[in-house]
Amino acid sequence: PTKVLSSVIWSTIGNTTGKDGYKYGTSADFDLSQTQDGYNVINVSFMKTPQGSTLPTFKPYNKTDAEFRAEVAKLNAEGKSVLIALGGADAHISLTKAQEDDFVNEVIRLADTYGFDGLDIDLEQS
C-alpha cells in the first residue's frame, strides 16, 4: 500500500483582520487539535527571531506550553507528524558560525518542550 503525504501549515499568527489565509498574512484562529483528519503532516509555522534577539525560537500564540504540547501529543497519537517550520516568506534568517550550537540547542529544546517530530526549513529569502 502507498501512503500519500498530505501536509497543512498551522500558523502562529492569530487572525486580527477578518481576512484569513496566506495571501493576507494571517490564519484562522483555531487550535492545532482542530486539524482536519486528512492531514498526516502538520507544519507549525514559524520559528521567528523575536525583537531584541538574534536567535529564532517559537512560542504558541494561543496556548500555554503544556496545552500546546498536549495538542501535539494528540496528533502524534493519531499517527501524524508535527514539524516546526523555520523561515517563511517574510523571514530573514541569518546565523553566524558562532550561533550554530545555540541554534541546534534551540531546535532540540523546542522538540523537547512541544514534542515536535522534526524541522521544516523554509528559507525563501536566501
**CA proximity to 27, closest of 42, 49, 41:** 42
Whether 124 sits among the annotated catalytic residues: the reply is: yes
Looking up cell 514534542 gives 115
Looking up cell 486580527 gives 16
CB-based contact 7:42 (threshold 8 Å): yes
Please list the residues that pair with 118 across neighbouring strands.
83
**CA proximity to 84, closest of 114, 124, 123:** 114
**CA proximity to 88, closest of 18, 17, 16, 11:** 11
Active-site amino acid positions: 124
